[in-house]
A and B are shown apart, each in its own frame.
Chain A
Amino acid sequence: MWDLCTNSLETSKIRGASYADVRVMHLRQRDLTTKNGEVGTLAQSESIGLGIRVLANGSWGFASTDRLTRDGVAACAAQAVSIAKASALAKREDVVMAPEDAYVDSWQSPFRKDPFEIPLETQLALLLAADAEMRRVKGVTLTETDMQFRKIDSWFASSIGSRIHQSKVITGCGIVATSFKGDEIQKRSYPNSFGGQHALQGYELVESLDLLKHAPVVGEEAVALHAAAQCPQKTGTLILGGSQLGLQIHESIGHPIELDRVLGQEANFAGTSFLTLDQLNKLRYASDIVNVVADARLEHGSGLGTFAYDDEGVPAQCTDIIKTGQFRGYLSNRETAHLVGLKRSSGTMRTESWNRLPIIRMTNVSLLPGTSSFDDLLADTDDGILMETNRSWSIDDRRYQFQFSTEIGWEIKGGKRGRMLKNPSYSGITTEFWNSCDAICNREHWTLWGTPNCGKGQPMQTMGTGHGASPSRFRNVRIGAAFSKQ
């Protein structure tokens, strides 16, 4: 692989590139699903190729190929330089990057059980058993389960001398029960919606979930939601479960801190950000107890945003995003770091595959744990609503106004969890919401949730991101607007 990298770098230099970096990537994926007691998807895919990014005439070009021969990669490198020179026909200014050292390294993500070595029969038997447990509940009309495993090997080389090999194993798993009755469809998922939990782990993640124990509960709650009271429309106290809070962090903190959005580079598609450069170190983003970091290092946890180096050859870092409520940092790459005067990239360039250009992505953007136990948090809440497991999410293109709905809610009265509520939703303005946070549960309740489906870029890339969160409380939140009629 290194020969292919070297060959393409040399060709790009001969063709006139002032800088180049190249990735050979080998991606393997296995998808298993069941539906109503039968196997649904059963597929495996494998893809290998090379992508090269070059600077020529002060502009970027990128090309990719699956022709992994000396001629193939040379042609690809030449095409990238040609594209860069075309970019220069409509450039604004020459690209300059913040400095970075060269690294020669090799890294393997830790895992205990290789999911590709676990017999398929074992994996399918577990999914079918969980599926059967959910179908045992009267009133459940649709059951679904899934497992997804990925292995990603990447060989990165750059014209400044880096040679970095990284190997990752990723696992995801979840179950869903749906119930149609009368004029409504209700659904419960475990351990999270939209594919369950995903992490930079092996099959041990699946085993830790104890699907068979949770499957009947998932089915029973899906059916019980039909008879539950409608979530009221009011302004009040909200407690969010960890997985929902993870998505709240993703949408209302993770995306607005992306410097490419802030600098207008995503204005046509993903949008921009309210976090203009003048807000750094000045904006009170959240209440004093809120501390948020973007941390790609392994010591933060085995999340979907964990790695040793980003796809620009910058080492994994921990960046303060919000410290005691103050806005402190952005997600950057080498180019945007230079544009805003940072000494160094925060190391967040990531690519979906060999045929995609690396772009700024979230790593693990996490809310650090607070001090409350969950029981103490409930006991300290006189009147509120607990919402768990995302059902829908939406936020404007500058990341001010959001609305989320969840699968299930629970009334909190006099410090105790009361009746079940259906169709819960809440909405608000990002900074008002985070400034209303007055309690965060402790590390015992903290989970590094995986969001496997973050879409960004053109051509669209799907990336996995991590979000550590524990249940937290927010005051004076608008509740129930999604089902309002006026």
Chain B
Amino acid sequence: MSATRKSKGSIPKEQLMAEGELRRIADTVLRLAKSIGVAETEVHVDETISALTRFANNGIHQNVAEHTLNVSVRTQAEQRTARAITNRTDEDSLRAAIEASLSLAHSQPKNLNSLPMPGKQRYRGVSRFIKGTAALTPEDRAHAVKRACDLAVKKGQTAAGIFSSAQTQTAMGNSRGLFAAYRDTHAVFSITMQQGKAASWAKENAANVAAIDAQRLAERASDKAHRATDAQELAPGRYTVILEPAAVLDLVGFLFYDFAGTAVRDKRSCFNERIGKQVFGKNISIVDDVYHPLQLGAPFDGEGMPRERVLLVDRGVPRNLVYSRASAKAAKKKPTGHGFMLPNEYGEAPMNLVFSGGKSSLEEMIGSTERGLLVTRLWYIREVDPYEKIMTGMTRDGLFLVEKGRVGAAVRNFRFNQSILEMLRNVEMMGPAVRATGEEAFEMVVPAMKVRDFHFSEVTKF
């Protein structure tokens, strides 16, 4: 199914298919659907080649690779639509997927709000496929992991983490002549260093693996793990916190669906009856921008509509939402190119949030703090109250007391119960927005933040 080329060894190195091959599969689906009289057909072809090396206890313990290809077919007739997905590309399997989609579609009542499929669109070009990332080998990953583990051994610490690389591509077309295609690469290095009961963590991701300095991340985690030993217990309460970008990301990432036009129409967004009001501080501005140089992602949505840059929050005031074609029609707005693949009940969401950020360095935030806490990352974040957007979760892998402008002793981890709306009214300083990566939200471009009166409700045992 895929083209291959020989590497130095005897194992062929896998490559994504040529875009023309994806287009051939899509055209086959459209031709087969037309031949059996389907009124409208949409097809997505998605291919992924990925590999992930996992290490713990200073050695590799899991090491995996996969190559997947899925063909997803949506048919629509008489205001009824449904989807069927297969990972086989022979004509019999594609025909079976079309027929499964038709059978599902015919089983339901008409949806009077359904729209005909869109016609041909124009897209802005984005270039995010880096050959060096696609060419990364298991040996490359193993050597980088070994260097990090050697550092841990030298420091009397224990390393755990991942080094992964992936190349993905998607192509979509429909029976009205729309065609869109996109490919990118993605690499991640994440490391936890443990020293006794203490631990710290560092992680980066990028389209270009060369932008990730694995050893520098290992050194940063190692240094912080060393400083995280002998954590002292502080009383819960409200503290000034300096949130590193990963901590900011994993909290504000929970806002993304609230910006959906469908979520507001369904009255499950925290922005219900708050659009146009001063919800956040005046230093908070947020856009959704897939074209931002630090972002990844296709320049089209699940229906093939071009993604637009949308100003979501302007100086603390929610101004705009994102819309699929259906939610735009219901709200008498224009589609913004953020729709999910149909049919679905969630509509759309901005997947490329970019915060405006500020100019303060982390050191300046620390230097200006009389008493507060430096937070490396947050963990197991869940929504407690959907309208006030109260989130709960834990600090993890490095919580430090800041006193009189200096980072001091490590502190036992806290549980927080904090409204994101309140938090974004209490931001005193921000760093430049960076491409952040955590474990709770997908990657976004956010700054480090100094926030007053952050609410910690309980403390744990370490």
Contact = CB atoms under 8 A, between A and B. Distances in A.
Interface of A: 33-36, 38-49, 59-67, 75, 78-80, 82-84, 86-93, 119-121, 124, 128, 141-142, 144, 178, 180, 183-185, 263-269, 271, 274, 355-357, 359, 391-398, 400-401, 403, 405, 423, 425, 427, 429, 458-459, 478, 481-486
Given A64-B65, A394-B394, A44 B53 contact: no
Nearest to A265: B56
B82 interface: yes
B232 interface: no
B84 A48 contact: no
Given A43-B343, A264-B158, A65 B462 contact: no
Interface stretch (B142-150, B275-283, B289-297, B443-451): B142-150
Interface in B123-140: 137-139
B83 A43 contact: yes
A394 B63 CA distance: 29
A48 B90 CA distance: 13
A458 B54 contact: yes
B191 A268 contact: yes
Given A44-B85, A46-B87, A64 B66 contact: yes
Contacts of B161: 268
B460 A481 contact: no
B380 A43 contact: no
Interface string B50-61: 111111111111
A66 B27 CA distance: 21
Contacts of A482: 384, 390, 392, 417, 457
B63 A39 contact: no
B45 to A, nearest CB: 13
Interface string B1-24: 100000001111000000000000
Given A67-B1, A401-B460, A178 B60 contact: no
A83 B63 contact: yes
A184 B50 contact: no
B238 A486 contact: yes
B60 A90 contact: yes
Interface in B345-388: 345, 379-388
Interface in B287-345: 343-345
A403 B392 contact: yes
Given A92-B58, A265-B57, 7 more contacts: A66-B87, A91-B59, A268-B191, A396-B394, A403-B417, A403-B458, A482-B392
A270 to B, nearest CB: 9
Nearest to B342: A41
A184 B383 CA distance: 13
Interface in B160-178: 160-162, 164
B121 interface: no
B338 to A, nearest CB: 18
Contacts of B56: 264-268
Contacts of B84: 43-46
B227 interface: no
Contacts of B83: 42-44
B458 A60 contact: no
Contacts of B437: none
Contacts of A405: 384, 392
B137 to A, nearest CB: 7
B415 A357 contact: no
Given A89-B146, A90-B149, A401-B415, A481 B380 contact: no
Given A263-B57, A268-B192, A395-B380, A82 B107 contact: no
A486 B237 contact: yes
Given A33-B345, A185-B386, A265-B56, A86 B139 contact: yes
B31 interface: no
B432 interface: no
B88 A48 contact: yes
A386 to B, nearest CB: 19
Given A82-B9, A400-B460, A483 B194 contact: no
Nearest to B439: A269
A62 B62 CA distance: 8
B141 interface: yes
Contacts of A60: 61-63
Contacts of A263: 57
| The 10 residue pairs across chains A and B that have the minimum distance between CB atoms | A40-B345, A92-B59, A86-B138, A120-B107, A401-B460, A180-B267, A45-B85, A267-B160, A90-B146, A89-B142
12 contacts: A46-B100, A66-B69, A67-B1, A91-B59, A266-B160, A392-B382, A394-B394, A397-B396, A427-B457, A478-B458, A482-B384, A486-B238
Given A79-B11, A396-B460, A62 B65 contact: yes
Contacts of A268: 54, 56, 160-162, 190-192, 201
Scoring B66, B83, B97, B101 by chain A CB atoms within 10 A of each residue's CB, the highest score goes to B66
Given A92-B57, A264-B194, A41 B462 contact: no
Contacts of B266: 35-36, 141-142, 178
A26 to B, nearest CB: 10
Contact of B64 (A65, A89, A459): A459
Nearest to A274: B461
B63 A62 contact: yes
B35 interface: no
Interface stretch (B36-44, B108-116, B204-212, B241-249): B108-116
Contact of B415 (A88, A144, A265, A394): A394
A21 B109 CA distance: 47
B146 A481 contact: no
A124 B87 contact: no
Contact of B344 (A40, A128, A142, A397): A40
B203 to A, nearest CB: 9
A88 B101 CA distance: 46
Contact of A89 (B62, B88, B139): B139
B289 to A, nearest CB: 26
B28 interface: no
A407 B163 CA distance: 40
B88 A120 contact: no
Scoring B62, B162, B386 by chain A CB atoms within 10 A of each residue's CB, the highest score goes to B62
A486 to B, nearest CB: 7
B30 to A, nearest CB: 19
B279 to A, nearest CB: 13
Contacts of B462: 396, 398, 400
B387 A265 contact: no
A39 B342 CA distance: 11
B268 A142 contact: yes
Contacts of A59: 60, 63
B139 A178 contact: no
B199 interface: yes
B413 interface: yes
A53 to B, nearest CB: 9
Contacts of A267: 56, 158, 160, 192, 194, 199
A46 B94 CA distance: 11
A39 B76 CA distance: 14
A481 B54 contact: no
A68 to B, nearest CB: 9
B86 interface: yes
Contacts of A478: 458
Contacts of B267: 141-142, 178, 180, 185
Nearest to B266: A142
B390 A483 contact: yes
Given A40-B343, A44-B104, A119-B107, A264 B57 contact: yes
Contacts of A39: 108-109, 111, 343
Nearest to A29: B85
B435 interface: no
Contacts of A183: 387-388
A87 B56 CA distance: 12
A43 B102 CA distance: 11
Contacts of A84: 63
Nearest to B58: A92
A92 B12 CA distance: 28
